[in-house]
Structure 1
């Protein structure tokens, strides 16, 4: 008998994509599902659509609430989840039909609590961008130690997003893990906490097509940068640093992660026209971590560092 999997899907103004996305979950080869659609105060017709879908499939449970953001919706959904396993799915993305079945099989066969899997990215014109995150780490299904997995998360070889893994629900709840409400980048700290709380963690390969298809939208939560992107990124980075330092001996990978986050924060400041004080603070933090060893850790880090170096030098010449 299949164990129940609770799929938690926050919904906010995605009427254009919602039905196709939810159907990719309802059409899974794994049938024992509780699909929780949490309408987070949508104003575009998504509210009516989730109710219509509920009438057509008794596995669906719908909740309507005032808009409080993705984190609050996920926290609420997890409280309603009845499954042995849980999965946070994004309401504008797509999943291959074998994703849940093969993830649960991996978890059951290995008595594991957490498994992450491959993905690719496509845009609003359905153009696909493969590679990047789907590197050699995903070429073999296997159990890995928690510290090794977190190290790979920190340096970007394994995805950190909540939609990129399926987990044993009690591990999340027993450890009292919650998403920080009203914060962007909210899964940067919950993912390491969940891995640390797990007895066994693993990576699931896909034979041909990646299991998950992430839709890159220009008007997504992180697609339009504001001042809160900057402050939230700094806040979440500080949270991750505390978690890793208090629970592991990981140092190099944490420093790489921190440098990359600060370089990303600098780019946000350039876009939103940050204050002089903000520039002074972020430049000080970047200089603290900007060693050759960390800068050359990846092509992405080098590119971000050169961007910072150019603007930092230009500002000093003015």
Structure 2
């Protein structure tokens, strides 16, 4: 009998949280799953931990490869996935017992290509649930995907993740949808763009089963070594898949990408003006000054303002005014005030 869900877990030096991840998968109420762990050249005890649980439960598969990055690891898992649907989990995260039962039940009920759910993030002890305004428990057709989801992916980042979704495997195979191996950040977003370019139907379930843990040294926390803004510029410059230009007007695509860039800029300003032991204040200050002076930001600002001015609060309006004025000190004062106010 075919597995209902194949769950792919890329693993690189994740032994600190890996056991919790493994147990959360083995305890799923949906038993007809396979769990494909791709050990991407770990130098810690991750491989041995997976092998120990593999001996206890035949649903675990293990692929060992030299370190090639998360995209190559996920693609290796996709090549052997046998389930009707595919899901993804990061090795330092965990899922609720009914995660895949809930998502698969929605997929089976409606026969859709994609199921989206909420997720919970944990950062420095605080937990936040990311949810969406899409109609819930309702089959959303191709028109909705083209008119709402595809622009949404261009405009914002919060739908990028692959681990709060399941995807119909046959659709991935038919359209040869894989993760881009040349991107250091943003590979999830490009995967979803490719997928929604072809998806016919989707479901959004208002359910929170995925727990995302942002750990020290992760791609989204390591400000010393990760050039966040440089990656945001790469995404801004990157042309979306050809099917996007067929479905959406080029002017609309540019405006949506501009909105995304400035949203990213605002979040990075907050990150870089937060006290950090990894980078001196002057280096962080200089980085922010470089960001707000970039030609891409100057180009995107008017389009962002046209799109977003009616929905911005006082804080956001002030930050944008400081970006327009290229006032780094004004931005530092705004972030400091916001952090003190929320502490």
Q: Into which bin does the TM-score normalised by the smaller protein fall? A: 0.7 to 0.9
The match for 2:300 is: 286
Find the residue that maps to 2:179 and give its secondary structure: coil
The match for 2:238 is: 239
Per-residue CA deviation, residues 183-218 of structure 1 (Å, 9 max, x unaligned), is: 212111211221221121111122xxx221111223
Paired positions, count: 308
- Normalised TM-score (structure 1): 0.83
Quote the Cα distance in structure 1 between the aligned partners of 2:173 and 2:41: 25
Contact 2:261 2:297 in 1 (8 A): no
Quote the Cα distance in structure 2 between the aligned partners of 1:103 and 1:115: 6
Quote the Cα distance in structure 2 between the aligned partners of 1:205 and 1:137: 9
The match for 2:219 is: 221
Is residue 141 from structure 1 mapped to residue 137 from structure 2 by the alignment? Answer: yes
Q: Please report how far the alpha carbon of residue 165 of structure 1 lies from its aligned counterpart in structure 2 after TM superposition.
A: 0.8
Name which of structure 1's ranges 231-240 and 68-77 shifts more when overlaid on structure 2: 231-240
Q: Please report how far the alpha carbon of residue 40 of structure 1 lies from its aligned counterpart in structure 2 after TM superposition.
A: 1.1
Per-residue CA deviation, residues 10-62 of structure 1 (Å, 9 max, x unaligned), is: 01121111111121111111111111101111122212212112112111111
The match for 2:334 is: none
Per-residue CA deviation, residues 233-280 of structure 1 (Å, 9 max, x unaligned), is: 322333364557414226658624432324525875974955969943
Contact 1:195 1:201 in 2 (8 A): no
Q: 1:45 to 1:192 in 2, by over 3 A?
A: same
- Normalised TM-score (structure 2): 0.78
The match for 2:95 is: 95
Contact 1:260 1:304 in 2 (8 A): no
Residue pairs, 1:1-318, within 5 angstroms: 3-123=3-123, 125=125, 127-130=126-129, 133-137=130-134, 140-144=136-140, 145-147=144-146, 148-156=148-156, 159-181=159-181, 182-206=183-207, 210-225=208-223, 226=225, 228-239=227-238, 241=240, 243=242, 245-249=244-248, 255-265=255-265, 271=284, 273=286, 279-298=293-312, 302=317, 305-306=320-321, 308-309=323-324, 312-314=326-328
Contact 1:122 1:215 in 2 (8 A): yes
Find the residue that maps to 1:51 and give its secondary structure: helix
- Unmatched 5+ stretches in structure 1: none
Per-residue CA deviation, residues 121-165 of structure 1 (Å, 9 max, x unaligned), is: 12364x4223xx325437x31222212223344454962201121
RMSD of aligned residue pairs (Cα, Å): 3.2
Quote the Cα distance in structure 1 between the aligned partners of 2:91 and 2:36: 11
Q: Please report how far the alpha carbon of residue 176 of structure 1 lies from its aligned counterpart in structure 2 after TM superposition.
A: 2.0
Contact 1:186 1:236 in 2 (8 A): no
Q: 1:305 to 1:244 in 2, by over 3 A?
A: farther
Contact 1:135 1:157 in 2 (8 A): no
Q: 1:220 to 1:314 in 2, by over 3 A?
A: closer
Q: 1:237 to 1:23 in 2, by over 3 A?
A: farther
Per-residue CA deviation, residues 68-119 of structure 1 (Å, 9 max, x unaligned), is: 2111111111111111211111111121111111211211121101010011
Contact 1:256 1:294 in 2 (8 A): no
Contact 1:40 1:66 in 2 (8 A): yes
